Amino acid sequence: MQNKLKRTIIGTLDDKYYLYEKLGFGASCIAYLATPIDDDTKQFAAKILFHKNDRHNTIFEQETKILSRLNVSNNEASKNIIYMENYKSNAILRLFTQSEDKPQDKFRDISEEELNDKPKEELETVDYICLALAGKGELFDYLKCYSKGFSEDIARFLFSQILNGVNYCHQMGFIHRDLKLENILFDNDWIIKISDFGLSSTKRRSKYDYDNCNIVGTDCYLAPELAIKKQRGSEIKQQYYGQPADVYSLGILLFTMVVAKYPFSIAIQTDEHSRFDYLVNKDHEQFWEEYEENKTALDLSNEFKSLIFLMLSVDPCERPSMAEILEHAWMKLPTPPKSEVDEELIEREIMIKRAKNIDNELIRRQKDREEQEMLKEKNNRDRESKILIQIHNNHFSDEVKRVSKKQAKKEMNKVRK
């Protein structure tokens, strides 16, 4: 089953959208490429909640609530926030399957041949968010596949967009709480879009942004005051300042964009000497010297190093505000034209596609090898079965001959008598 996009339709959502290939998945959600049934020129990412429990439902409700607020104004301030087109609870998801005796796993795409072979429907009640399609993927991939950081100029161009989005969130009274490369997306025009607001929360008007709040986020991006608490147990609750925690995550993100490596796995002091210890002791020179010894440091400017250490301050009260970051000397340095940045991103996109093609080829070859092994085992079993049958038949034939000879002798003896 196909439409004008010449893509295989694998199902429908809420009788409003066609679903196509899977874009990605997380612990509780799967994202599919989707188009309105009545207009396949518009493309969206349908984020579908499958595995429902109280925690996942809370995350889903929180994301829809916050995006509804953030998407109210369509202006320069909100342009770097992912746009939510629609959302609904208890919608009907129809996934096409081959047949009842061959159920299909909803985590994989279904081929056109399977759809044409006795198509049936698998109905399920789900919650979903329909988001603007960020067609160029995650910022994470543009570093992982290229194995090289961005120049400071290009990083500054991109980081200014990330700051614009986070600053808008803070002004609207929200803390993201899970800022990382994987949650920074590019749309088809190479504009940054901040996504995944499921762990976000509202800033409180009290001494602490969060009072007796669960620690959430990704380990290597967690501020030290949160990392130490999370290490003692995932259900640990802690008073903390939300905006400085976001600023720390942004510092890790900026560092990784330029150096193409995380500064450390988690911001916790250990018995073994770690790079984080240099931050605790404010030994900035030693921190960078270790990177130079490992030949991973670039020719980094003093302005860049200054901003990184301010944002990664162990004491949250020493971290700069969003306004102070925007006014920092590094942010005031020149940025390249958008065309130059786009050129760099396109080059990296080509590397990503090559890497994916290589991965797909390796997967295909591995699948072929496995199928060949299975076929070989089947042929061996068939051959063994044939040999056993032949042995049995030969044995049976010999037994028949022996019995026949014995019977013939008895008859001859009767005649002689």
The residues carrying an active-site annotation are 178
Residues constituting the chain: 417
122 CA to centre of own chain: 25
d(CA 153, CA 352): 22
d(CA 122, CA 320): 52
For the chain, how big is the Rg over CA atoms in Å?
Answer: 31
* Residue pair 32/45 in contact by the 8 Å Cβ criterion: yes
d(CA 21, CA 357): 16
The CA-CA-CA angle for residues 241, 245, 215, to 5°, reads: 80
d(CA 190, CA 348): 12
d(CA 231, CA 269): 11
The CA-CA-CA angle for residues 323, 329, 333, to 5°, reads: 110
13, 47, 69, 188 from 35: Cα distances, Å = 10, 13, 24, 16
Residue 119, SS3 per DSSP? coil
Using CB atoms within 10 Å of the CB of residue 78, give its burial: 0 to 12 exposed, 13 to 18 middle, 19+ buried: middle
Which backbone phi and psi does 202 adopt, to 5 degrees?
-90, 135
63, 66, 205, 229, 377 from 212: Cα distances, Å = 21, 21, 14, 12, 59
3, 15, 34, 37, 100 from 112: Cα distances, Å = 12, 21, 17, 19, 17
